[in-house]
Structure formats: structure tokens, C-alpha cells
């Protein structure tokens, strides 16, 4: 189950319940209609349900928000509900439904819509999850170009991550420096941590262990502040990789053990399985074969239970 902090990934899509339509200076302020206010409340409930890991309930809330917005022909509200649905479906592994939701949202977009960037971003994430990295990069770059607010660093993080996955670490690193600056300016600390974590990965690939360690430690401090369990585990594993690359096997084991505990406590079985595999390899390097076999057995049990997938 995801942490309550998981709601942050949906915040940009929430239409405030107190939203008013203001006219020119001195004109009366018109409150939103009852159906639109009800729709936004369902959207809020959906965000909270997804953050608790209750994806079925979340999708039901988003569906009701969509119905209500459709009933009053509120196109922007419909797009918000559809993108939230797509995101929830993607996180649940239902990529076909996610693609359908985001394409329906795209069909409603008006030229110059302020929602275009978020919709393109979600489409890129869906394509990346499906393994179509070139198409994902194209839509991530479109999301970056369409961004009109403070989410530029978030968009750049995705572009950089996709560049890195396609084997262009130097380009990714340059993009991440821009992302880091944008996220710091916007005070988006979670995205700042994402920039630092990706920079750590790139520095490690390039053999710059000191810079990698600095980046991972910076990300770890931010993620601890925000309470993002899964990302904390990733930071700790990154630091383990730095120690291993530096020849400090004992230190690497220490970092990976901390990453393993964070993954287990956070319910991230897939990450826990990957960390067990890495720990087993490290223990074999130290000659502790029995410990390595024990860890390999734990990993097999975890995979066999269906709780984690390779």
C-alpha cells in the first residue's frame, strides 16, 4: 500500500473546490455550480483513495467526477478526471485502460490548454511503462514544451530519465542540471530529490563516485524529510552501488541492508527482491556463501509468492 504522501503525484490535477470564475475588475464573482463542486469532491476522494492503495475505489470516484463534469459540459474537469484515471490504471498495471483514458482526454484538449502538459506527461509515462521508449521520449518532450507553470523540472526529470534509459547519460546529465535548478526555484523538494537521484545514477555510470555519493545523499535527505519510503530505498541502494564501485564491499552491504529493510517495511516486494539479489552477490564476494544462499532462497520465496515480479 502506498503512503499518504503518494497523493502528491496527483496534486497538480486537482481543481480546487473553491474555484471561482472571476470577471473583469470590480465584477461579481461567480461560484462554481453544485455539480462541479461535487465532481471536484469526488476527484479529491479519488486522489486520497489511490494514495492509500485503494485503486478500485479511486477509479470509482474518478468515474463519478467524470460523469458530473460531463453532465455540465465542463471539458477541463473531464480531462482532469480522465488523466487521474489513466494514472491510477497505469500504476495498477492496466496499461490498455490507461491508454484509453488518456486518449479520450486528448480528444477533449483545446489549443493552448493549460492541461496539455500534464496529459502529455501521463501519455509519456504510459508509453514508457509499455516499453516504447522512443515514443515516450517524444511525448515527454512535448509535455516539457507545453508546460506553462512550475512543473518544468518535473517534465525535465522524465525527459532525462528516458534519455538515460536509451543510453545517453551525457545528454541526460545536462538536462538534469536544468531540472534541478527549476525544481529548486519552484521549491518542489520531491522533484529535486528525483533530479539528484538520477544525477547520482549518471555519476556512478561515469565512475565519478564522489559526485554520485553527494547526489544520492542529497536525495536521501530530502526523501527522508518527505517520508517517501520507496525513494528512500532507492537512495540507499544507490549509495550501496557507490560503495561497491569504490571497492568498499562491507560498506555496500550495509547500505543495501538498509535499503532492504526500507523496502520490506514499505511493502515494496519487487525492490526487496532486487536488493536481495544484489546482497547475495556481495556476500559471495566476501566468501560468505551460506549467507548468500540464504538470501537467494528468500528472494526465490518472494518471487514465488507472486508478491514481486522480475
* Helix ranges (DSSP H) in 206-268: 209-226, 229-245, 249-266
User: What is the Cα–Cα distance from 254 to 244, expressed in whole angstroms?
Assistant: 11
What is the pLDDT averaged over residues 251-272?
A: 95
* 31 φ, ψ (degrees, to nearest 5): -75, 160
pLDDT of amino acid 16: 35
pLDDT of amino acid 18: 33
pLDDT of amino acid 6: 45
What is the pLDDT averaged over residues 159-171?
A: 97
User: Where exactly does CATH 1.25.40.10 map onto the chain?
Assistant: 1-135, 149-227
Q: Which has the closest alpha carbon to 42: 11, 14, 18?
A: 14
Kindly indicate the confidence band of residue 308, based on its pLDDT and cuts at 50, 70 and 90.
low
pLDDT of amino acid 28: 53
CATH homologous superfamily, domain 149-227: Tetratricopeptide repeat domain (1.25.40.10)
Q: Indicate the CATH number of 236-310 among 1.10.10, 1.20.950, 1.25.40, 1.20.140.
A: 1.25.40
% residues pLDDT > 70 (the chain): 89
pLDDT of amino acid 24: 40
Largest CA-CA distance found in the chain, in angstroms, rounded: 78
What is the pLDDT averaged over residues 118-138?
A: 98
Say yes or no to pLDDT of 310 above 70. no
pLDDT of amino acid 31: 76
Q: What are the CA-CA distances from residue 249 to residues 27, 281, 294 (Å)? A: 69, 10, 18
- pLDDT tens-digit profile of 180-191? 999 999 999 999
- pLDDT tens-digit profile of 12-31? 454 333 333 333 444 455 67
**147 neighbors 124 (Cβ within 8 angstroms):** no
- pLDDT tens-digit profile of 53-107? 899 999 999 999 999 999 999 999 999 999 999 999 999 999 999 999 999 999 9
Cross-strand pairs, 21: 30
Q: Indicate the CATH number of 1-135 among 1.25.40.10, 3.60.15.10, 1.10.3660.10, 3.40.50.2300.
A: 1.25.40.10
Say yes or no to pLDDT of 309 above 70. no
Q: Which has the closest alpha carbon to 283: 266, 296, 298?
A: 296
Taking the model in full, what pTM does it have? 0.86
- pLDDT tens-digit profile of 198-238? 999 999 999 999 999 999 999 999 999 999 989 999 999 99
Kindly indicate the confidence band of residue 51, based on its pLDDT and cuts at 50, 70 and 90.
confident
Which has more confidence, 272 or 16? Answer: 272
Cross-strand pairs, 20: 31
Q: Which has the closest alpha carbon to 200: 223, 234, 167?
A: 234
Amino acid at each position: 500500500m502506498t503512503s499518504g504522501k503518494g497523493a502528491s503525484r496527483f496534486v497538480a490535477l486537482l481543481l480546487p473546490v473553491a474555484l471561482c470564475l472571476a470577471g473583469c475588475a470590480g465584477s461579481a464573482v461567480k461560484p462554481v455550480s453544485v455539480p462541479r463542486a461535487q465532481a471536484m469532491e469526488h476527484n479529491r476522494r479519488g486522489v486520497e483513495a489511490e494514495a492509500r492503495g485503494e485503486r478500485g475505489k479511486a477509479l470509482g470516484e474518478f468515474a463519478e467526477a467524470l460523469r458530473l463534469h460531463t453532465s455540465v459540459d465542463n471539458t477541463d474537469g473531464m480531462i482532469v478526471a480522465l488523466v487521474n484515471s489513466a494514472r491510477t490504471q497505469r500504476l495498477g498495471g492496466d496499461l490498455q485502460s490507461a491508454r484509453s483514458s488518456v486518449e479520450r482526454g486528448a480528444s477533449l484538449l483545446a489549443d493552448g490548454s493549460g492541461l496539455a502538459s500534464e496529459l502529455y506527461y501521463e501519455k509519456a509515462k504510459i508509453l514508457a511503462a509499455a516499453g516504447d521508449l522512443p515514443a515516450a521520449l517524444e511525448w515527454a518532450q512535448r509535455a516539457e514544451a507545453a508546460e506553462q507553470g512550475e512543473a518544468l523540472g518535473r517534465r525535465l526529470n522524465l525527459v532525462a530519465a528516458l534519455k538515460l534509459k536509451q543510453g545517453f547519460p551525457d545528454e541526460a546529465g545536462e538536462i538534469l542540471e536544468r531540472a534541478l535548478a527549476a525544481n529548486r526555484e519552484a521549491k518542489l523538494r520531491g522533484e529535486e530529490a528525483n533530479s539528484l537521484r538520477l544525477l547520482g545514477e549518471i555519476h556512478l555510470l561515469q565512475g565519478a563516485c564522489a559526485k554520485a555519493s553527494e547526489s544520492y545523499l542529497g536525495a536521501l535527505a530530502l526523501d527522508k524529510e518527505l517520508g517517501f519510503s520507496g525513494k528512500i530505498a532507492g537512495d540507499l541502494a544507490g549509495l550501496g552501488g557507490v560503495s561497491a564501485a569504490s571497492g568498499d564491499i562491507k560498506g555496500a552491504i550495509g547500505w543495501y541492508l538498509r535499503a532492504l529493510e526500507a523496502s520490506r517495511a514499505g511493502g515494496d516486494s519487487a525492490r526487496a527482491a532486487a536488493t536481495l539479489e544484489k546482497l547475495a552477490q556481495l556476500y559471495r564476494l566476501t566468501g560468505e556463501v551460506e549467507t548468500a544462499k540464504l538470501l537467494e532462497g528468500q528472494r526465490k520465496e518472494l518471487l514465488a509468492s507472486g508478491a514481486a515480479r522480475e
